[in-house]
Structure 1
Amino acid sequence: MKDHSAPMRKKILFIDSPLVPTQGGGQKSLLLLMRGLPAADYAVSVAVPEGPESDFCRDARAAGLALHKVAVSYRAVRALLRAQAPDLVHCNSATTRLTFLAALNARLSGTPFVWHVRVMEQAGWKDRVIAGLSGRIIAISGAVARRFAHSPAKVRKVYNAVDTAVFAPGLGSGDLRGELGIAPGARVVGTIGRLVELKGHRTFLRMAGKIGEKAGRCVFLVVGAGEEVYTRELKEYSSQLGLEDRVIFTGHREDIPALISLCDVVAAPSDGLEAFGRVLIEAMACGKPVVAGDAGGMPEIVENGVDGFLVPCRDADAYAAAVLRLLADPARAAEMGRNGLKKARRFNVANHVSGVEKVYAELIG
């Protein structure tokens, strides 16, 4: 006999509306959240704009999630909400047309709407319009929360998560040295992220040039992919700096934990608009010391001198000095790595999911 006393699962419709086609940290964080929500309590599906099958789509399907592709039009979004009849719409996006259409249709249908914001850049009146249509706004850092000073009562800060089963110390790097052509004993400094201006790769390359041979043989990894033109510009800039034999552009890689394990130091030279700094907690979870910029959301992750160093954004000299300090003092680097590992464990998936569930509870009980 069916147990009518059992609570009904809440239907959550996620909508992902990325600004770029490549899968970034925001989509990786969304996948962790969707997989982490208790299946006994939530029925989860996700919608994305019509277009080619992306890495995010493939990963969502592989996780067993129902995925819908929707045209970016009022009628299509209205039809999606009517067909899915969710208890709550959770939009993972920047200020896009799809975000607005989802928020508008949710309001017109009386469906609670959560806007999960992962960027710091303000969008003027568009922010105010979508914030007005939102029941709650999840900000991934205090830096993002400050973007919504006009709607503080709606904002809830929930930090991103790291999968500590995937990113952990002692994972080993296999034969990556041989594959990448890194000599035995060479020190490795890496930066990981999409190849876009925001991530500060030119600062990283200038830093590499300033470090040179001061720490002995040192190799610099640029891990990630981006648009062809920008990637070519970075490689040309590396050549202009005379770094052809020291900088390795790996392109897109799936083995990020192993690449982090290969590094002695992980640098995040993003400019002042880095909203969080996902790679920082991934590196910390692997027990690696980090060097990051002192703006945006990064100071909320890194405690200067304890689990890494914070330096002025875009200051290649300061980045080089901090990296050299870590390479010259392995004991201190190891201590920072241990401190970072303790901190990273607080950014686990369970804590992240719990934070989001508290936001849901404010809207749908």
Structure 2
Amino acid sequence: MLFEQGNPLFLLSADRSRFGLLARAQQVGLPHAGFECRHWSLSLAGLMQFRHDALSFEPLLKNSLSEFKPDLIHANTLRSALLLKRQQCRDIPVLLHDRDLKAPFISLHIAARRIHTLIAVSAATAEKWRSLLPSENIHVVYNGLSLPELETAPFETRTGFCILQVADLLPWKNHRLFLQVLRKLSGRIPGLRAIIRGRRRGRESAKLLQVLEQQARELNLEACLEIRTADGDATAELQEADLLISCSEQEAFGRNIIEALAHGKVVVAVKAAGPAEILAQCTAASLCPPDAEALAQAVMAWHADQKYLHAAEDARKFAAEFSLDKHLQNINYVYDKMIYEEG
């Protein structure tokens, strides 16, 4: 969207997935180049991988800076900031867009020496930087989504009831708690169905999928549960579902929560980190402790007298506060502030 607004951009990305940044840049004609970068573990092997990836990235960055001559560098995620060498970027202000709730302190310390400004997707995400950066250089900018998704749908009575978890197949997303909630609800809501919509992320995801399928069998949930792992977004599932459950205690923001609200769906979420922050004033959501019975009770309360349908308009109005336009205005404000201070 920044490119479509007329901002000259050059994208360097390691996201080569089918629907990733490089594919989207190609579609809209955004100048771009790809590189290789792994997720480094906190180990000797991870350190060696980081060193290899950083050395491989160095000539690409050098050529890109020479040809494009940017006014600032927007490093999207901590990994990106760690790849930047101070001597290469000493005359260019670096902005880190942090989307991770937690990170090793050594990584934060190294990155803090390389960046000028921080944008965090939530106050919870920004907290870990408070002792490392001046407060005036830390900005909280919530994620934004496209408003065409927020079209008002007519009120309708629906048969059955479908609960949904949208979460990539990673252990910290806590799919197992979702299954425990489903077990608590089983037999208490007529026509109950459940969907887990989660993309696979390598071997770890394949293992987790096996664990979840085994747990579903042990809890006798196979008849009412469907696990979908296709690539792409979860639009079809958000339209199909009646209520979204967010089970993680480690969400930096929770974009799927806002997307669900934008579709007129109420949300039941664990009261922690990003979701606790962004849903604090939302009348179409319930915040609960990370306990299956508490989450199940909240779902039951929304199901009673079809309250979830009556809250659909409130859900859409709340999601509109996280519009892409507002998000871009806030990003551009930070850009302008950085360039003014450097000038």
Q: Secondary structure at the match of 1:39?
A: coil
1:363 shift after superposition: 1.4
Distance 1:232 1:103 in 2: 41
After TM superposition, the structure 1 = structure 2 runs for residues 343-354 of structure 1, keeping only pairs within 5 Å, are 343-354=318-329
Q: 1:170 to 1:285 in 2, by over 3 A?
A: same
Q: Percent sequence identity over matched residues?
A: 23
1:327 aligned onto 2:316: no
Which residue identity is paired with 1:296?
Answer: A
* Corresponding residue number in structure 2 for 1:256: 234
1:218 maps to amino acid: L
What is the CA–CA distance in structure 1 between the aligned matches of 2:8 and 2:111, rounded to whole Å? Answer: 25
SS of equivalent residue, structure 1 residue 320: helix
Cα distance in 2 for residues equivalent to 1:58 and 1:148: 32
Distance in 2 (CA, whole Å) between partners of 1:263 and 1:299 is 22
- The 3-state SS of whatever aligns with 1:44 is coil
Contact 1:191–1:268 (CA under 8 A) maintained in structure 2? yes
**In the superposition, relative to structure 1, how do residues 52 and 275 fare at CA in structure 2: closer, same or farther (>3 Å)?**
closer
1:281 to 234, 253, 258: 258
1:120 correspondence with 2:101: yes
For normalisation by structure 1, the TM-score amounts to 0.79
SS in 2 for 1:115: strand
Q: Does residue 141 of structure 1 match 2:122?
A: yes
Change (3 A) 1:305 1:114: closer
Mapping of residues 308-319 of structure 1, within 5 Å = 308-313=285-290, 315-319=291-295
Return the TM-score normalized by structure 2. 0.84
Structure 1 partner of 2:86: 104
Q: Deviations over 1:317-343 (max 9, x none)?
A: 11111111111231x323433222111
Q: Note the C-alpha offset of 1:286.
A: 1.0
Paired AA for residue 350 in structure 1: D
The answer to whether structure 1 residue 211 and structure 2 residue 185 are counterparts is yes
Which residue number in structure 2 is paired with residue 228 of structure 1?
206
For residue 353 of structure 1, what is the amino acid of its counterpart? Answer: L
1:84 to 40, 61, 68: 68
- Aligned-pair distance for 1:190? 0.5
Q: Which amino acid aligns with 2:214?
A: E
* Structure 1 partner of 2:218: 240
User: RMSD in angstroms over aligned alpha carbons?
Assistant: 2.2
**1:45, distance to aligned residue in structure 2 (A):** 2.1
Q: Work out the number of aligned pairs and report it.
A: 312
Q: Deviations over 1:252-273 (max 9, x none)?
A: 2546233212111111111x21
Provide Cα deviations, 1:97-151, integer angstroms capped at 9, x if missing partner: x42232525533x111100000110321321221232111000001011111112
Cα displacement (A) at 1:193: 2.1
Match of 2:48 in 1: none
Determine if the alignment matches structure 1 residue 202 to structure 2 residue 166: no
Tell me how far 1:316 sits from its aligned partner.
1.2
SS of 2:149's equivalent? coil
Equivalent residue for 1:158, pick from 141, 151, 158: 141
Structure 1 letter corresponding to 2:216? S
1:185-196 alignment to 2 at 5 Å? 185-196=159-170
Q: State the Cα deviation string for residues 155-204 of structure 1 (Å, max 9, x = none).
A: 101000111213544399xxxxxxxxxxx932100111211112111100
CA shift, 1:223, in A, is 0.8
Q: How many Å separate the matches in 1 of 2:32 and 2:240?
A: 36
Structure-to-structure mapping, 1:36-47, within 5 angstroms:
36-40=2-6, 42-47=7-12
Q: How far does the alpha carbon of each residue in 1:47-78 deviate from its partner, in whole angstroms, 9 at most, with x for none?
A: 123x8554212222223222201353234433
Task: Summarize the Cα distance change of 1:146–1:171 in structure 2 as closer, same or farther, 3 Å threshold.
Answer: farther
Q: Is contact 1:77–1:105 with CA below 8 Å preserved after alignment?
A: no
What residue in structure 1 maps to residue 47 of structure 2? none
Give structure 2 stretches of 5+ with no counterpart.
37-52
Partner of 2:111: 130
| Aligned-pair CA distance for 1:346 | 1.1
Does the 8 Å contact 1:166/1:257 carry over to 2? no
